[in-house]
């Protein structure tokens, strides 16, 4: 630490919260939402089979993003989901991504990770038949929240 003590202020980056547009970072090989950074990380478009797959994946991660502080603050506690909070959240994000893809007229090809997400969700649903309805409701709330971020007066039909 003594090597950097006393540096001029110009060496320190100001701490600021990311804007809505800065919360998506391109890079890496895996798409993910990083809650502690409140950041969506997406691989470059060229790593996907097509643009529809990229945007479907972005929709999945954006649905995860809606659970954050100051947004929907979705309860992802294990207690709520019989110890399977991870699988429940993945189900919410997968359903939300499907809803978004349908809204946007996208028909992405299934990917390997769909199977792994949904296999965990199947175990969750076997334990509670109402899980799919709860997850679908939360996914719909996530999608509604994302739609609410669009500029006023601009419907999805107009954007196409």
For helices 112-127 and 85-104, angle between their N-to-C axes, nearest 10 degrees: 120
Q: What are the φ and ψ backbone dihedral angles of 82, each rounded to 5 degrees?
A: 50, 45
Confidence of residue 1 (pLDDT cuts 50, 70, 90): very low
* 7 token code pair: 């540096």
The residue written with tokens 């998506």 in the block is 24
Q: For the range 42-51, what are the long-range contacts, defined as Cβ-Cβ under 8 Å and sequence gap of 24 or more?
A: 49/109, 50/108, 50/109
> What is d(CA 126, CA 101) in angstroms, rounded to the nearest whole number?
27
Q: Are 52 and 106 in contact (CB under 8 A)?
A: yes
Q: Which residue has the higher pLDDT, 93 or 151?
A: 93
At 67 the pLDDT is 94
Distances from the Cα of 53 to the Cαs of 18, 41, 43, 103, 126, in angstroms?
26, 15, 12, 15, 29
The more confidently predicted of residues 1 and 151 is 151
Give every strand in the sheet of 39-42, ordered side by side.
24-26, 39-42, 32-34
Q: Are 57 and 48 in contact (CB under 8 A)?
A: yes
Query: Structural domain boundaries of the chain?
Result: 48-155
Once rounded to an integer, what is the mean pLDDT over residues 75-99?
Answer: 83
Q: Return the higher-pLDDT residue of 3 and 61.
A: 61
Q: What is the pLDDT of residues 53-67, one digit of tens each?
A: 889 899 999 999 999
The strand ranges marked E within the chain are 24-26, 32-34, 39-42
List, for residues 22-80, the tens digit of each pLDDT value.
567 888 889 999 998 899 999 999 998 888 888 989 999 999 999 998 999 998 776 66
């Amino acid at each position: 630490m003594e090597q950097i003590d006393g540096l001029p202020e110009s060496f320190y980056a100001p701490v600021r919260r990311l804007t809505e547009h800065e919360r998506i970072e391109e890079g890496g090989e895996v798409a993910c939402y990083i809650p502690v950074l409140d950041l969506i990380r997406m691989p470059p478009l060229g790593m996907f089979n097509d643009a529809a797959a990229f945007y479907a994946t972005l929709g999945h991660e954006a649905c995860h993003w809606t659970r954050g502080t100051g947004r929907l603050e979705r309860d992802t506690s294990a207690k709520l989901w019989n110890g399977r909070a991870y699988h429940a959240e993945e189900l919410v994000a997968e359903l939300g991504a499907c809803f978004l893809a349908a809204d946007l007229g996208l028909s992405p090809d299934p990917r390997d990770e769909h199977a792994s997400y949904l296999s965990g969700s199947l175990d969750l649903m076997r334990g509670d038949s109402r899980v799919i309805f709860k997850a679908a409701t939360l996914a719909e709330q996530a999608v509604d929240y994302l739609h609410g971020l669009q500029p006023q007066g601009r419907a999805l039909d107009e954007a196409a």
